[in-house]
Amino acid sequence: MNTADLLVEIGTEELPPRALRSLAEALGRALGEGLEGQALAFAGLTTYATPRRLAVLVEALSLRQPDREQVRRGPALAAAFDDEGCPTPAALGFARACGLAVEDLERLETPKGIWLAHRHREPGQPAASLLPDILRQALDRLPIPRRMRWGDGSDLFIRPVHWAVLLLGDQVVSMELMGVRTGRETRGHRFHHPEPIYVAEPAAYAPLLETEGHVLPDLAGRREAIRGQVVEAARRLGGEALIDEDLLEEVTALVEWPVAVTGGFEARFLELPPEVLISTMQDHQKYFPVVDTQGRLLPHFVTVANIESREPALVRAGNERVIRPRLSDAAFFWEQDRKTPLAARIDGLAQVVFQHRLGTLLDKAQRSAVIAAEINEALDGDPRLAERAALLAKCDLLTHMVYEFPELQGTMGRYYALHDGEPEEVAQAIEEHYRPRHAGDALPASLTGQSLGIADRLDTLVGIFAIGQVPTGDKDPFALRRAALGVLRILIEGALDLDLLELLRRVAARFGAEIDAEAAVMPVFEFILDRLRAYYLDAGIPVQVFEAVRARQPVRPLDFDRRIRAVDRFRTLPEAEALAAANKRIGNILRKAGEPLPSDWQPERLELPAERDLADTLRSVAVEVEPLLEGGDYTEALQRMARLRAPVDRFFDDVMVMVENESLRHNRLALLRDLQRLFLRVADLSRLPG
C-alpha cells in the first residue's frame, strides 16, 4: 500500500476559546503546506479542535516521496579537455566527485554552451522520517502572540502539553514533542472519560472520541449541535433563543460534550433595560437569552454545560444562583444612576483624563460640541441638538451601570437622557455616536448622531497625531484605524457630502496653542485615505481603480466614492483598455514635450481629417458631460466619454504630433492636453491597465 492516513493530535490544558478556531485552521494549513513542500501528496485534510486538543486528520498520505532526478553540472566542455582532447584536472576532479570515469559523464547542452554533467536518481525519503520536522515547523508557525514555558522544560507553546498522538496508518511515528513522547493514546472528556483511549488507526479517531470518550471533536459539528440544543430548549420554555454568533462560537470552544440547561430569574428584573439583561446573560455569564414571539425578553435563559450531570436540577440552580446577584446589582445601579441627571455629571468629566497632553473628557466634549454643531448645521440639522449631545455623550461613563458594564456605554446614556427629559434625538445621538463599533456594524441613523460620531472621531485622530502617537505596525492603542474607517463609512454610506480636509482643519483649530494640531491635518488626511484603500479592496475594487481616483485628490469622501464606482464600471467597457492606454500615451507625450502651450487649440490649424474628427468629437462630448460632471454623475459621464475611443485611435494612427512645425506641433499638443483634462475631471485613467 502506497498511502496511509495520518493523525496528529496535541493534547493540552484548556486553550483560549476565542483563539481556538484560528489555531485549528492554522495548524491544518501549516501541516498541509509542509507536506506539499516535501512532495508528499494526500487526498484530504480535516481539522479538529476542542478546549483540550488540536488535531488534524490527513487522508491517503503518500508513504514516500517520489524519486527525483538530479542533474549535477560540472565544468564547461571547453575547460574539461585540453587541445589534445585529454581530460583536464577540472574534469577529472568532477568525475571523481561523482564516482565515475570521465568517459561516463554526460554532455549537457544549454543555451549558454555544453557542460559535463552527471545525472542520477535520488530516491524519495519515507514520510515517517520527514513528519517530525514537518510537524515542528507547523507548530512554530501557529499564530501564538505569547508562548509559555512550563515545568523545567525549554519548550514553548500556548498551553502546557499533556499528550501527543502521531499515527501514520497503524504505526506510531515516535518523536519528542513539547516535552512528551508521541504515541497512539488520546484522552476523552476530563470527567466522563479521563482514561487514555487506544487509537488503532487514524480514521477511528473522531468516532472513537464521540462514542467512547464523550467528546465531539469536530468544531463545526459541535457548534451546530449546540445551536440545535439551545433552540430546542428555548422552544420548551415557550420562547425563542437569542443566538449571538460570536457567543455561540465562544461557547463551542469552551465545551467538549455540550448539554443545554435552562434556567430562570425573577420577573421583576424585566423592568431593567433589555440591553442590561442581555449583556449580563451573554457577555458575563455566556447564557443565551430567551424572548417571546414579539421579541420581548422572558425571565429565562439557556446555558450550555460541559458535562451530562446526573442531577441537572443542581446545575440549573447553580447557574440561577450565579446570575441573581449580578441582576440585583444592575437593578440597584439603575435606580441610583437615575437620581442624578446626566447634565449634572458634565463637570465631573473634568476629573477624567482623556490623554494627559490633550486634556480631560470635558475638554474633548467641548471641542467636539463645536465641530458637531457646525457639521449638523451644514447638514441642515439643528446645531443646538448636536452641541447638547456632545456635552452629554460621555457622561454615562461616570455612572455605576457603565462602570460595571462598560459595554453598555452610550446605550445607558440614551436611557438616562430620556429619563431626564432630553430631546429624543439628543438621547439617540448619545448611543449612536459610538457606531460603527466594528466591521459590519450599523451606522448612526440620525443627523445628530452622524455629526457627533464624525466630530468625536476626528478630534481623537487629530489630537493623537498631533502629539506624535501615530499607529505603527499592529500597535494602535487609541483604535485610530477603526476611527478613520468609521468616519469614512458615515460619510460615504450615510451619503454626507462633506469636505473632509476642511473638517480636519476646523478640528485642529479647536486645540490650544500648546498643541501643533495644524501640522497633523495632512498626515491624518493621508492616514484616512489609506483606510479608504482598504475599504475598497475589501469591496473587491482593484487598487488601480483606487489609485486612478486618488491621483485627482478628491477631498469629499462621498465624491471619491462616486468616482470610484464610475471608474470601476468604466473599466468593464470594451473601450476602457484602449482609452487607458491612450491616456498613458498622452501623458508621456506631454511630459516629454515640456513646451509652453497655447491656452487653447485653434480649429483652423487642424490639417488632417483624423485630428479634425477628434477635435469635433471632443468638443461635442465635453458639452454633453459638463452638466453630468457638475452634478457628480461620473458614471454616465465616463460612459459618454467612451465615444472618444475611435477618434483617438484614428488620431494616433494617422497624425504625427511631434512635427518640426512649431505652430502645428503646439496645436496638436494643446488638443491632446484638453483631451487629457476632460478625463482627469473624473480620474487619471492612465493608472488603469491598458
Q: What are phi and psi of 466, to 5 degrees?
A: -65, -30
pLDDT digits 0-9 by tens, 385-411:
999 999 999 999 999 999 999 999 999
* Secondary structure of 478-522 in HEC code, one letter for each residue: CCHHHHHHHHHHHHHHCCCCCCHHHHHHHHHHCCCCCCCHHHHHH
Secondary structure of residue 29 in the 3-state scheme: helix
The C-alpha cell that represents 689 in the structure block? 491597465
Angle between helix 609-630 and 662-680 (nearest 10): 30
Would you state the pLDDT for residue 602? 83
Kindly report the backbone phi and psi dihedral angles of residue 96, in degrees, each rounded to the nearest multiple of 5, phi listed first. Answer: -65, -40
SS3 for 384-452 is: HHHHHHHHHCCHHHHCHHHHHCHHHCCHHHHHHHHHCCCCHHHHHHHHHCCCCCCCCCCCCCCHHHHHH
The per-residue pLDDT for 222 is: 97
- Separation between Cα atoms, residue 302 and residue 368, nearest integer Å: 43
Average the pLDDT over 151-167 and give the result.
Answer: 89
Question: Would you call 655 helix, strand, or coil by DSSP?
Answer: coil
More confident residue, 103 or 139: 139
Q: If you search the block for the grid coordinates 492606454, which residue do you land on? A: 581
Residues 111, 112, 115, 118, CA torsion sign: negative
Three cell numbers written together for 528: 484616512
Q: Who has greater pLDDT, 151 or 130?
A: 130
Instruction: Give dist(CA 246, CA 250) in Å, integer.
Output: 6
CATH 1.10.730-classified regions of the chain: 574-687
Higher pLDDT, 611 or 373: 373
**562 pLDDT exceeds 90?**
yes
**DSSP character for 91?**
H
**Which pLDDT score is estimated for 596?**
78
3-class DSSP state of 189: coil
Residue 596, φ and ψ in degrees, nearest 5: -70, 130
| Complete DSSP assignment for 549-606 | HHTT--S-HHHHHHHHHHHHHHTTSTTHHHHHHHHHHHHHHHHHH-----SS--GGG-
Domain with CATH 1.10.3210 in the chain: 353-540
Average pLDDT score over residue span 440-460 = 97
> Does the pLDDT of residue 690 top 80, yes or no?
no
Q: Do residues 55 and 28 touch, judged by C-beta distance below 8 A?
A: no
Average pLDDT, the chain: 93
Higher pLDDT, 514 or 423: 423
pLDDT at 1: 58
* Residue extent(s) of CATH 3.30.70.260 domains in the chain: 3-65+126-211
Tens-digit pLDDT profile for residues 281-319: 999 999 999 999 999 999 999 999 999 998 999 999 999
Phi, psi (rounded to 5 degrees) for 209: -60, -40
Question: What is the CATH code for 353-540?
Answer: 1.10.3210
Contact in structure between 200 and 170 (CB atoms under 8 Å): yes
Q: From the options 3.40.462, 1.10.10, 1.10.730, 1.20.81, give the CATH code of 574-687.
A: 1.10.730
Contact status, residue 61 vs residue 35, Cβ threshold 8 Å: yes
Closest C-alpha to 131, from 67, 26, 35, 44: 35
Torsion sign across C-alpha atoms 547, 551, 553, 556:
negative
Instruction: Give the architecture-level CATH label for domain 3-65+126-211.
Output: 2-Layer Sandwich (3.30)
Kindly tell me if the per-residue pLDDT of 595 is higher than 80.
Answer: no
- Look up cell 454623475; give the residue: 633
Phi, psi of 68 (to 5 degrees): -120, 135
In this prediction, residue 336 carries a pLDDT of 97
CA atoms of 670 and 212, how far apart (whole Å): 84
Tell me how many degrees the CA angle 300-301-302 measures, rounded to the nearest 5: 140
Q: What is the pLDDT of residue 97?
A: 87
pLDDT at 114 over 70: yes
- With a CB cutoff of 8 Å and minimum separation 6, the contacts of 194 are 187, 188
Question: Which residue's C-alpha cell is 477624567?
Answer: 352
**Residue 135 above 70 pLDDT?**
yes
Q: How far apart, in whole angstroms, are the C-alpha atoms of residue 348 and residue 477? A: 24
Averaging pLDDT over each range in 42-51, 151-160, 599-608, 616-625, which range is the top one? 42-51
Residues β-bridged to residue 181 = 176
Q: What are phi and psi of 437, to 5 degrees?
A: -80, -25
Q: Count CB-CB contacts under 10 A for residue 307.
A: 18
Is 80 exceeded by the pLDDT of residue 522?
yes
